[in-house]
Structure 1
Amino acid sequence: MKKLIKTIEYIKWKNLMLVASILVLASCTTDDAEEIQTDLDVINDETLLNARMLKTDEVINISSTGQGRKKADFELKLKGELTPPTIDDLPLQATSVSQKGKFLAISYNYAGAVYAGAIDLVTEELEVTSQLLAYADINELEFYANSLYFVGGSDRLEKPAFAAKIDFDSGKGQFKSGGTVFEEVGSFTANSVTEFGGVIYVTTGDDMSTGGGIYRFNSSMNLDNYEAIEDARWVEGSGSKIYCVSGDPSTISVFDRNNLEIKEKIEHSAKTLPESKQTIDIDDKKIFVAGGEQGVLVYDMDGKLISNLKFDDNSITNAVSAEKGRLFISNGEGGVYVATYDDDDVEIIGKLELGNNESVNHILLHDDYLYVASGLGGVKMIEIDD
């Protein structure tokens, strides 16, 4: 167990990189940014889009792994599967999912040297109503009001990493052509975005010398703050603080949400691969960390390790999603596991029998649904029935 490091001084890069971030903001109206917006394509042909959706009502079993004593007190039903789109005949892979109200958004990128991606907009009835195609990898996305914020990378930009937003008509369920704003950020790609208190927080990976760290935008995508962080992987908000996990060094940086003043750093014991996905989630005064080879690391809000879930099949945990005492765990090619938690304990129930060997990139637990993004396998929409 590693100790909590308190009272951290401002990183010496702060003033230098804040100036750099202002320059980045100024560069966002360049021809490069305009080019990527010109190349965007919005498709609203629902017949065409829904040809990729398969609706079903299939029970998903949870197999015991022998690691826990509890049994599930709920049933899982596969309600829909959406296969990924293509762009210029390039097969895209599902990277992330966001859900708000009656809409679900799914992001895609291309696993190769070419930058290509897409976003699907899906209703709660599992109807695909709109799609955005872009010459950009889209790694993560987040709803706020009638806009969708998304991040990734594109060779159309001088600095590949970007943060962007597109407006949509919530009545029609369609993206608005021309309602897109792109902002360049530092590093080679942006890997996570979250909205918290009406403010947009974005992380970019790699080292601080290339602009890696956390960026704070208002809802109009005007940059108002930046803090350099080494190898930033994911960002979440809770209470008055913003939490950002780094892969190397293995830390969670805790910031004041109002000004990105760093308050403390929590050392974690995750072992992840370079440039790999690593998410965190916060619920019930617990911080759940995708720990790579270390499985799932669970900390209290003071940084004390209270549980470590490891898996007998040597799975690599890349994403976690927790809500209302349930924790779903993405282990890449190792599949999806489920656990339960309360004030005193975190315990594995078992592994979801999803019937394929696809590598899971992301999971989202929201209300009574679980969404599983499985790369080239697309996205599975799973209902949780109590």
Structure 2
Amino acid sequence: MKKNIYLFSFLTLFLFACCDNNDNNANDNQPVNNVTINNDVTELGKRIDFTTSGVISIENTSVTGKSAATASTSFPLVQIGEIKPPVDSQGRTLQASHVAVNGNYAYVSYIMRGDAYSGAIDVIDVSDPYKPKLVTSALIANTDITSLTYSNGNLILGGAADIDKLQSVPNPAIVINMQLSSGLLTDKYTTNYLESRVTTDVASNATSYFAVTGDNGSLFKLNASGKAVEGKTPMADLRSIALNGDKIVTLSGTKGVNIYSQSTLALQKSFTVSADVSGAKRTMDFDGTKLLIAEGYKGLGVYDSNSGSKLQTIAIATAGEDNVTNAVAVNDGYAFVANGALGLNVYKTGTQLNLLGTLGIAGSTNYVKSSGDYIYVASGTGGLKIIKMEKPSTTFASCTLFGIYNQGANLILNSNEVKSYSGATAINSAIVNSGAVLTHCGSISILNGLTLNSGSTFNMRGTLAQGKYLPLSSTELIINNNALLQIEGSVVIWGDLRLNNGAKINFIGNDSSITIYGKVIKSGTVTITGTYKDTENKLK
């Protein structure tokens, strides 16, 4: 049965079927319960692509003329890797659909685009901030996994099963509650079948988990301990669900926003939003009492969740085709908006959302999630991009004495000039000329080259990320004769480090580190002092 064609009887069934993969009911041994787990980290590591890793820029196309070419930002970003999508047992490439995060683990769900059904789950370890690891992966035959969320040591999965191939399955829409072991996937899970063609989104609190289904769908509440459906309320064309305080918020493509009590599912408030095309995945997120909603071809809508009034509309520049707002995520004062072929826009939150620019990443952006220091971007069949926000360290008290950098995208210190800056800085390049002293306290990213000319000094306190991963881009950090790079913190060089005769590097303290992904090129006598961790063993 095709995903977009379902018999009316499947949309009007009022059956709740629940099965455990260890019981003996008629749904056992069906492929929907066939989870194939791969824990071979060597094999899984082949799916991690670092060729596009390195510092990425934010481009603000709303700024024109000379200022557009010279603008810097206070939002340094590094793409630390890309996870290529899994291939199922039939050799078909899947597509990322959703991301959930708990601690150092990111959980990614996958679907099969088109009429076929096939799903997967990846678990990515980001405990090493610049080296993500794919630690386990599971293929789920004949089942799309559309969404997922972490819940008290379990993974709640929403999706759709192929009822043509799984003939004993009563309905396509499913919810799977999978037990985790130290955060990793297991083959212990319970499946609930809900009346509808697809479960579009899931959410959870301490005692319950919730699911929404599309078409003539419903909001379902399930007991976390008994795994049974406790209640439901019908609502057509549900796309997304979010929990906020003691409330459940649902988004319908045709019926707008509805707000319910978590305990009773009683409707408390509803308000209309822009109508959307049928069947498209959309998300929403909260910024305090503001509700940000991806509204497809209408762009992003910002609403007061208490009154329902619309506060702001951010339209798509050129709506149509693949130019569409698919998803939104809010984290630590920033909003990230996935606009399909137009890329990922970044906004500073506040009274109004203010555009910082568009991330310089390749491919269409279909989904975005941000948690902690990371942004996770699903890019069609291109996989999942993992981007790290380089946040300023708060451990250097004297940093507050320095001003914020605002001198343009290309930092140049003239001979014998002395400058000190703090905070978060993102620039295109930096040159410190003879005798000049540059101090930066916080976090700084440099998209292209960094050059310290003869007799200059760069005091780096905090974090420095520079360049692009080779071989796609030959960026360099160059230290010339009698120039000194002082490091108190962490330095990541994605390209090459060129140490010319007389170059000096000094590490301060006991916890400083340097990571070099390219080559180290030494010419003549080079002096390296202090205690440091060389993560790639390149300086020896």
> What's the TM-score bracket when you normalise by the shorter of the two chains?
0.7 to 0.9
Do structure 1's residue 201 and structure 2's residue 196 form an aligned pair? no
Larger Rg: 2
Per-residue displacement from partner, 1:314-358 (whole Å, max 9, x unpaired)?
A: 23111000122210001122211111111x22122211110x2x3
Do structure 1's residue 313 and structure 2's residue 318 form an aligned pair? yes
- Between 1:49-58 and 1:278-287, the stretch displaced more is 49-58
Alignment of 1:9-48 (within 5 A): 23-25=15-17, 30-32=25-27, 34-48=29-43
Question: Post-superposition, which runs of at least 4 consecutive aligned residues in structure 1 deviate over 6 A?
Answer: 67-71
CA distance in 2, matches of 1:180, 1:26: 11
Do structure 1's residue 280 and structure 2's residue 318 form an aligned pair? no
Give 1:242 shift.
0.5
Partner of 2:344: 336
Partner of 1:176: 186
Alignment of 1:293-372 (within 5 A): 293-301=297-305, 302-314=307-319, 315-342=323-350, 344-354=351-361, 356=362, 358-372=363-377
CA distance in 1, matches of 2:149, 2:199: 13
CA distance in 1, matches of 2:356, 2:370: 16
Do structure 1's residue 138 and structure 2's residue 127 form an aligned pair? no
CA shift in 2, pair 1:38/1:185, >3 Å: closer
CA shift in 2, pair 1:106/1:260, >3 Å: same
Partner of 2:155: 148
CA distance in 1, matches of 2:203, 2:107: 14
Partner of 1:11: none
Aligned to 2:43, the other structure's residue is in SS state helix
Aligned amino acid, residue 342 of structure 2: G
1:89 to 88, 91, 99: 91
Per-residue displacement from partner, 1:142-201 (whole Å, max 9, x unpaired)?
A: 11122111111111233111000212211xx53222x01111011111110111344211
CA distance in 2, matches of 1:245, 1:287: 11
CA distance in 1, matches of 2:27, 2:72: 54
CA distance in 2, matches of 1:71, 1:329: 21
CA distance in 2, matches of 1:72, 1:300: 29
CA distance in 2, matches of 1:361, 1:31: 37
Number of residue pairs the alignment of both structures matches: 355
Give 1:72 shift.
3.9
Partner of 2:518: none
Contact 2:203–2:210 (CA<8 Å) still a contact in 1? yes
CA distance in 2, matches of 1:37, 1:231: 24
Partner of 1:16: none
CA shift in 2, pair 1:255/1:137, >3 Å: same
Give 1:32 shift.
3.1
CA distance in 2, matches of 1:79, 1:226: 42
CA distance in 1, matches of 2:298, 2:186: 43
Aligned amino acid, residue 347 of structure 2: A
CA distance in 2, matches of 1:37, 1:190: 14
CA distance in 1, matches of 2:330, 2:110: 23
Q: What stretches of structure 2 of length at least 5 have no aligned partner?
A: 1-11, 392-540
Contact 1:295–1:316 (CA<8 Å) still a contact in 2? yes
CA shift in 2, pair 1:287/1:67, >3 Å: farther
What is the TM-score when the length of structure 2 is the normalising length?
0.63
What is the TM-score when the length of structure 1 is the normalising length?
0.87
Alignment of 1:203-242 (within 5 A): 203-207=212-216, 212-220=217-225, 221-242=227-248
**What is the percent sequence identity of the aligned residues?**
26
CA shift in 2, pair 1:119/1:71, >3 Å: same
Per-residue displacement from partner, 1:112-144 (whole Å, max 9, x unpaired)?
A: 222101001111232111111111101111111
CA distance in 2, matches of 1:117, 1:382: 24
